Structure 1
Amino acid sequence: MGEHVGTLGISLAFGLSIVAAAYGIGPISSAHLNPAVSFGMMAAGRMSGHDAAIYSIAQVAGATLAAAVILIIASGRADYSLATNGLGQNDYGAGYLGEYSMGAAFLFETVATFRFITVILGVTQNGAPTTLAGLAICLTLAGIHRFLGVFWPVLPTVWA
């Protein structure tokens, strides 16, 4: 499917998934789906260290469960192999698309995460018009993934 949707479609899928989560579970958990968000909130003084740790444990558990679901679904394809196809994750290094170094991958992740958390903190601060916060967060994540797809051409093999 990835080759049919392209990097723009994949980028929008990530962004739209986040906007759905922001509006769907935001009132319950503030839609912290990633430990970086929780630690960003903690660094900004909007969450205690204890709560950030509990959220992070829940986020890792949720990600592990989601990976298991993806594995079960992908395993239903006759030619699927976890060792060959993975679970749609990105990678780096020799032999991988783009052959970027670990340093380049780490720098991209650091800058992209900083930008993403900055937007989240900005649109959710007191006095911000939070009605459209989910949309701003969605577009930021879609933009980050679009940039990643253009300069680091990865189409998850699970979707192929």
Structure 2
Amino acid sequence: MSMPMSKRMGAELIGTFWLVLGGCGSVVLAASFPIGIGLVGVSMAFGLTVLTMAFAIGHISGCHLNPAVSLGLVVGGRFPLKDLVPYVIAQVVGAILAAGVIYLIASGKAGFELSNGLASNGYGEHSPGQYSLGAGFVSEVVMTAMFILIIMGATDSRAPAGFAPIAIGLALTLIHLVSIPVTNTSVNPARSTGPALFVGGWALHQLWLFWVAPLIGAVIGGALYRGLFRTP
């Protein structure tokens, strides 16, 4: 990419901020409001954040917004390894800032308790559907691998031009529709880190899963696409 790294990092920070603010914010502020948006609304919110930012900053940074996406693209041969760490730093910082904004807004309502999770990801007793660690691991690996496959396919030079943001946004929506009950859906270590740092306790103790499983899934997805569908 011809853009300076500072501008690309800025775009990734802002884009990840928007993803966490819009996605996690919909969970904390709107999911169960008297006429709440529920699981479908939250799933759409996450998808819309990626869709909108893909159009806004895709031409600047590629709109990864996710350490797993950046790693998957490295493995898939679409992104240079030397740029991985700066992107991950920008993504994590953006996620933390967004979680802070959500906390500031949510704490303005009487009865708000940080212990409710701030949309943190979890397994076992902290899974929305009480799913086990094993179930959460499988869900996060498979969903992330499929997400990377879709991203690489939609952005392939052979794919129809201009439609990638729609495909990627809808893919993230579908992923959330399926896996919110299992782990509250991560597939994104930065998205998991922001809320966990504010909640502390159990959220930090379980955060390892939402780095390990998505990164494994990213490697699988990137390797599969590169091995199966790369142009000879």
Q: Shorter-chain TM-score: which interval?
A: 0.7 to 0.9
Equivalent in 131, 145, 158 of residue 162 of structure 2: 131
Matched residue, 1:75:
107
Matched residue, 2:218:
none
Q: Distance in 2 between matches of 1:35 and 1:90?
A: 16
Q: Structure 1 residues 153 and 92, CA, compared in 2 at 3 Å: closer, same or farther?
A: closer
Structure 1 unaligned regions, length at least 5:
155-160
Q: Indicate yes or no: 2:149 matched with 1:97.
A: no
Q: Which aligned pairs between 1:1-160 and structure 2 lie closer than 5 A?
A: 1-3=30-32, 4-83=36-115, 85-94=116-125, 96-149=127-180, 151-152=181-182
Matched residue, 2:200:
none
Higher relative contact order (CA 8 A, sep 6+): 1
Provide the aligned C-alpha RMSD in A.
1.7
Deviation at 1:130, TM superposition (A): 3.0
Q: Structure 1 residues 122 and 43, CA, compared in 2 at 3 Å: closer, same or farther?
A: same
CA-to-aligned-CA distance 1:52-83 (integer Å, 9 cap, x gap): 11111111111111111111111111211212
Q: Distance in 2 between matches of 1:7 and 1:81?
A: 21
Q: Distance in 1 between matches of 2:41 and 2:150?
A: 22
**What is the TM-score normalised by the length of structure 2?**
0.62
**What is the TM-score normalised by the length of structure 1?**
0.88
- 1:98 partner SS: coil
Q: Distance in 2 between matches of 1:153 and 1:66?
A: 20
Deviation at 1:89, TM superposition (A): 2.1
Q: Distance in 2 between matches of 1:37 and 1:130?
A: 20
Q: Structure 1 residues 129 and 136, CA, compared in 2 at 3 Å: closer, same or farther?
A: same
**Number of residue-to-residue matches in the alignment:** 152
Deviation at 1:96, TM superposition (A): 4.6
- 1:130 partner SS: coil
